[in-house]
Amino acid sequence: TGHVTLDPGYVNTGACTSAITYIDGDAGVLRYRGYPIAELAEKSNFLEVSYLLIYGALPTQEQYDDFADKVRRHTLLDEDLKRFFDGFPRDAHPMPVLSSAVSALSTFYQDSLDPADPEHVDISTVRLLAKLPTIAAYAYKKTVGQPFLYPDNSLGYVENFLRMTFGLPAEPYEVDPVVAEALDRLFILHADHEQNCSTSTVRLVGSSQANLFASVSAGIHALSGPLHGGANSAVLDMLERIAAEGGDVGHFVERVKNKERGVRLMGFGHRVYKNYDPRAAIVKKSADDVLSRLGKSDQLLDIAKQLEDFALNDDYFIERKLYPNVDFYTGLIYRAMGFPTPMFTVLFAIGRLPGWIAQWREMTADPATKIGRPRQVYTGEQERGFVPISNR
Ligand code: CMC
């Protein structure tokens, strides 16, 4: 079987070539298709960035309008899929609801699932981008027992999602532009991050020529874990716990450093960044800005800043090059916007979707792609004879 190189966690194993996202983890650099993340976050919008990631270049006005129009026209869910939400308990976590519904989407479009057919891939791309916010909003509505709102296609992508989430049929809903702008920017910051756990999952599933919906559904599950996208909820839980215990960040950091079981500084550390995560720097500024523009203050933001100051000056974190990552401050913004903690990772999924799609398409179009199939080093028993149950 030849020589196998063991690399648990793929710390040093490249599984593909990619022209989508560039990271220099030591310098804290992140670029999508060559464009620095800070510039995109400031000057672009989420749909434009989605186009950029998926098609490789910034769209012309005409290309942009056409793309945005297509996405707008596919925001509705089939009424049968809508009833799917009835089967979940009221307190269902929205992440498994999200991935189940994405998985179920494939059953509604069985005539257009061929990964080798560019038209199938394009329509699946549009359907996913259009429907994920609708599914996410319904997953939320279900938990609060409110009626589902149909999309309003006079609204922009993010505005539509906010209205479906927080609006009520009996009342007009004014989208707060501060909230819409901040959420759009957060989606941009999450849109791709090369071969992270969920993206690698999307590629691995897709490498068997499974369809885009199946691959993305698997990616959503991978994202849900607390070491990955689930970290944004875990950060909030951690901050709330620290606040409830009197707000002593020093005490909490001691527990982290003592490696108490299950106690990590959530929202800190990264496999690739050994410097400040450039996304975290933007999110931190945005948290201050959004909270002040919404006229909100949050004791948890103060605790988060104290925690960061404490950690950045502590040898344990300095030696290990642990800095805040993108998840450290996002939850505080989501909370100020009115999202409950379990929805945070759903928001990450909406943001990451164009990256998953772009990476899946790049892989599918690459003639060098082979089915993903890691090897192992066997450590079990050598051959032995079967013993009948009566003799054991
Ligand atoms: N708190 C305390 N210690 C940490 C942390 C942390 N957050 N992260 C890493 N370490 C320590 C770890 O214990 C190890 O120490 P030692 O060498 O003494 O054993 C050292 O730093 C290296 O850590 P590692 O676990 O080998 O690093 P990794 O590359 O496998 O893990 C990580 C990366 C992101 C999973 C990890 O830093 C972590 O668990 N962070 C907390 C969860 C989190 O915030 N995840 C979000 C990641 S960013 C975006 C996303 O994917 O959502």
Name the nearest CA neighbour of 279 among 221, 339, 223, 348: 348
> How far apart are the C-alpha atoms of 390 and 392, rounded to whole Å?
6
> How far apart are the C-alpha atoms of 267 and 331, rounded to whole Å?
10
- 251 Cβ closer than 6 Å to some ligand 1 atom: no
**Residue at 83: amino acid letter:** R
Atom number in ligand 1 closest to CA 9:
30
Measured by CA distance, the residue closest to atom 22 of ligand 1 is: 320
Measured by CA distance, the residue closest to atom 31 of ligand 1 is: 271
Q: What's the pLDDT at 1?
A: 54
**What is the whole-number distance in angstroms between the Cα of residue 347 and the centre of ligand 1?**
22
Q: What's the pLDDT at 82?
A: 93
Contact partners, residue 294, CB within 8 Å, separation at least 6: 176, 178, 179, 336, 337
Q: What is the DSSP letter of 350?
A: H
> How far apart are the C-alpha atoms of 273 and 30, rounded to whole Å?
10
- Residue-wise burial string across 172-210, b where 16 or more C-beta atoms lie within 10 A, e elsewhere: ebebbebbbbbbbbbbbbbbbbbbbbbbbbbbbbbbeeb
Give, for 30, the enclosing helix (H) or strand (E): strand 29-32
Q: What are the pLDDT digits (tens) for 226-262?
A: 999 999 999 999 999 999 999 999 999 999 999 999 8
- 196 Cβ closer than 6 Å to some ligand 1 atom: yes
Model confidence at 208: pLDDT above 90: yes
Mutate to test the pocket of ligand 1, among 221, 257, 264, 330 (most ligand atoms within 8 A of CB): 264
Q: What's the pLDDT at 130?
A: 98
Indicate if the alpha-carbon torsion angle 40, 44, 45, 46 is positive or negative: negative
Q: What are the pLDDT digits (tens) for 83-127?
A: 999 999 999 999 999 999 999 999 999 999 999 999 999 999 999
Measured by CA distance, the residue closest to atom 21 of ligand 1 is: 320
Model confidence at 2: pLDDT above 80: no
**Alpha carbon of residue 218 to chain centroid:** 12
Mutate to test the pocket of ligand 1, among 259, 261, 270 (most ligand atoms within 8 A of CB): 270
Q: What's the pLDDT at 3?
A: 87
Output the CA–CA distances (angstroms, integers) from residue 170 to 93, 146, 147, 166, in the order listed.
Answer: 26, 11, 10, 12
Contact partners, residue 29, CB within 8 Å, separation at least 6: 22, 23, 36, 278
Q: Cα-flanking dihedrals φ and ψ of residue 194, to 5°?
A: 40, -130
- 185 Cβ closer than 6 Å to some ligand 1 atom: no
**pLDDT band, residue 215 (cuts 50/70/90):** very high
Q: What are the pLDDT digits (tens) for 304-338?
A: 999 999 999 999 999 999 999 999 999 999 999 99
Q: What are the pLDDT digits (tens) for 258-290?
A: 999 989 999 999 999 999 999 999 999 999 999
What's the ipTM?
0.97
Name the nearest CA neighbour of 53 among 17, 22, 14: 22
Helix (H, G, I), strand (E, B) or coil at 266: coil
What is the mean predicted confidence (pLDDT) over 9-17?
A: 95
Measured by CA distance, the residue closest to atom 2 of ligand 1 is: 264
Q: Global pTM?
A: 0.97
Active site residue 327: yes
**What is the whole-number distance in angstroms between the Cα of residue 269 and the centre of ligand 1?**
5
